[in-house]
Structure 1
């Protein structure tokens, strides 16, 4: 049987850039591994090449747990990487390449866990539904959204789910903190359009849409969104204070973040809404004032703060800028505290006695949003023990992405404890 590092390396070698090469070859690889282990996969496409694999493993309880991951990755420019981003090279105890962290490493841990259990004849404590999805790095229209609408029956009986962006180690003195995600910020990707009067670039502009849009974007980019502490984030801060023995003033959290070091870095994207201009397009000739200008904005809002976010956004943009949503998704949350959170924590502590699990809210979004629509509680739990020099969050969509082999092996042991 292949090791978890070998599976991770194999998956990285499939260029599943989104937009770009599609997930079909990687999905076929996953389906073959499952079928060879006696686990029957269901393979389907939402469009040519946009392929998802789902499989069910019978357990001792029909209350099923979903483990989902995505096979697509964001683009990578080989000229910016020390090793080729699709080499999957294993060097100095690290697996290198695009997707090592986000999230082919996690898919490899899931596969190595269930394949290992199958080889040993071990039956999981509850039914497992495994989903290896397309298109998470865009809107999920070709992946999780398609799966939950067109193949809803594959997720029957699922009450809880685990996936990416949680349970990674963060150094904290003699302890290691493992943030387990119990929610994530909502997504509001928007296209902004300003209309005006076309004219000659040498003449005073009657109504220049480029200027209108740029002024609006400047107001948006310079806006200081107020700190809004949701209950899970408050619980996270209180847990950090207890673990470190350093009280944190909740009334001035932002000022407290720097002294908390790596633990403080976890809070940066969790204490307020945000809206970042990311794309801008206007005009076709230097001496022509165009009639329209467009921009795209990546907006994120905390659970429960959608109405406040949109109201502030409209005030900043002003009446002459029209917004339309490219992708609008609610901010899902899972119960905390809960018996399942306790189970997840226990699996970590059993493998790492120095582990200190805490609740966490993800600043970005995952496919958990789609499954939340089916009433499935999603937790970010992709256990990974890291060396202190690795900036886990910095490698998401960054260059020279890599993951420790020992960290992947740790994750397999934790998942096995959770599932067996």
Structure 2
């Protein structure tokens, strides 16, 4: 781990991010990975060094989260939570320019798995908190810090576990910030939009199963499970779901329309999405429900027709459209295919208003005078879904000022994930200002 002893958050954040990336916390969706214990201990040590009393909670061996509370100036006010996850999706080193667990600095960026999802925000949070506590600057109200396990597999062993078994940790918390929001999209030199996440699509991770008649591969078989399943998966994968414009997406499109100086038709967004560069994939997926086939499993020998075939599908639905989504899925796959959930969770949507939003706007403009904060919907999901069960209003606010040419959406779960060094330092400054005003 890094041995330097910087005195400010800006000086420290890069080393913190590199250290976290070097701790392999790959989450394979089961307990076969290394777990998050080493990262939880690292975070706890960094918080304890500046006077906090962090606690580590293991939902099962190795699956660990770290939680701490900072006392604010006015303890009668509701508390704010800043949460992040320390697990990452797996990475194949052979595919990367720099090793995914090296924390290499190259081309002005910190490279590695988790650089944007989301060890960057973990590092920025640690840097800001450590700087404030070293200099004796209390936040205006209590802040609960939560560094969580298992978000990449639905949060069962992290946020969900803590909400179900240790809800007292979040006593008095009414609002929270976390990942995939606060990042910039450069319109021109006089305007940068900073996308604040106020909504998330819901999820149905599904298993599709077809039972057929097993037999010899050399014989004609009209009840081939693989054939039936592949036809269903093909219909599903090629289907274009209808455009459904939610409140959040409508607000974003209005802001984008004003920024670009054009009228936007949600039914014809192809040309507009082409202008959005690195955020086009995220925005495009918020215009409709989606279902992406991701896994196939059938058979054990080339000359044996199996009696069963299985596929997995990553389904995401817009707030208010879950019933329509499931009806469409069932119609597309047909009566022969059995559908069951592997993991499901609700959609979220909140309004883009209030003192916390004002604090975000003010902090961004103070560091970037051409900033404009706008609401948007995340096509995926975060641990905010679990905390919503406690009545905690969640926002995505992990501020980053990004180069216009960076394919930001492609960094998530992609090869050569990286975050600009200047972006990390910018995020520290913004978060520090935000906490002053929260």
Alignment deviations for residues 30-76 of structure 1 (CA, whole Å, 9 cap, x no partner)? 00010110011011101111110000001123311111100011111
Higher mean displacement: 202-211 or 224-233? 202-211
Q: Which runs of 5+ in 1 are unaligned?
A: none
1:236-251 to structure 2, matched below 5 A, reads 236-251=252-267
The structural deviation recorded for 1:183 is: 0.8
Q: Once the 2 structures are TM-superposed, how far is the Cα of residue 165 of structure 1 from its aligned partner?
A: 0.3
CA–CA distance in 2 between the matches of 1:307 and 1:415?
Answer: 38
Aligned partner of 1:39 in structure 2 is 52
1:172–1:263 contact (8 Å) kept in structure 2: no
* Pair 1:13-2:22 in alignment: yes
- State the shift of 1:350 in Å: 1.3
Instruction: Give the one of 210, 215, 218 matched to 1:199.
Output: 215
Q: Distance in 2 between matches of 1:265 and 1:293?
A: 31
Q: 1:23 aligns with which of 36, 43, 50?
A: 36
SS of aligned partner of 1:267 = helix
| 2:419 counterpart SS class | strand
1:316 aligns with 2:332: yes
Per the normalisation by structure 2, the TM-score is: 0.93
1:259, 1:311 → 2: CA distance? 33
2:225–2:309: 8 Å Cα contact kept in structure 1? yes
Q: How many residues align?
A: 420
Unaligned runs of 5+ in 2: 7-11
Q: Distance in 2 between matches of 1:46 and 1:39?
A: 22
**For 1:346-361, what aligned pairs fall within 5 Å after superposition?**
346-361=362-377
360, 384, 388: which one pairs with 1:372? 388
- Say whether residues 1:363 and 2:372 are aligned partners: no
Matched, 1:53 2:66: yes
Q: Summarize the Cα distance change of 1:207–1:250 in structure 2 as closer, same or farther, 3 Å threshold.
A: closer
Question: How far does residue 243 in structure 1 lie from its aligned partner after superposition?
Answer: 1.7
d(CA) in 1 for partners of 2:266 and 2:16? Answer: 44
Task: Provide the C-alpha distance between the structure 2 equivalents of 1:260 and 1:91, rounded to a whole number of angstroms.
Answer: 26
Residue 305 of structure 1 corresponds to which residue in structure 2?
A: 321
> Are 1:345 and 2:380 an aligned pair?
no
The CA RMSD over aligned residues, in Å, is 1.4
How much has 1:314 moved relative to structure 2? 0.2
Aligned residue number for residue 222 of structure 1? 238
Distance 1:260 1:144 in 2: 33
Question: Which of 57, 63, 85 is residue 70 of structure 1 equivalent to?
Answer: 85
How big is each residue's C-alpha offset from its partner over 1:163-195, in whole Å with a ceiling of 9 and x where there is no partner?
000111111012111000001111110011001
Tell me if the contact between 2:184 and 2:192 (Cα under 8 Å) persists in the aligned partners: yes
Instruction: Give the Cα–Cα distance (whole angstroms) in 2 for the partners of residues 115 and 14 of structure 1.
Output: 20
Distance verdict in 2 for CA 1:238–1:4, change over 3 Å = same
Equivalent in the alignment of 1:84: 99
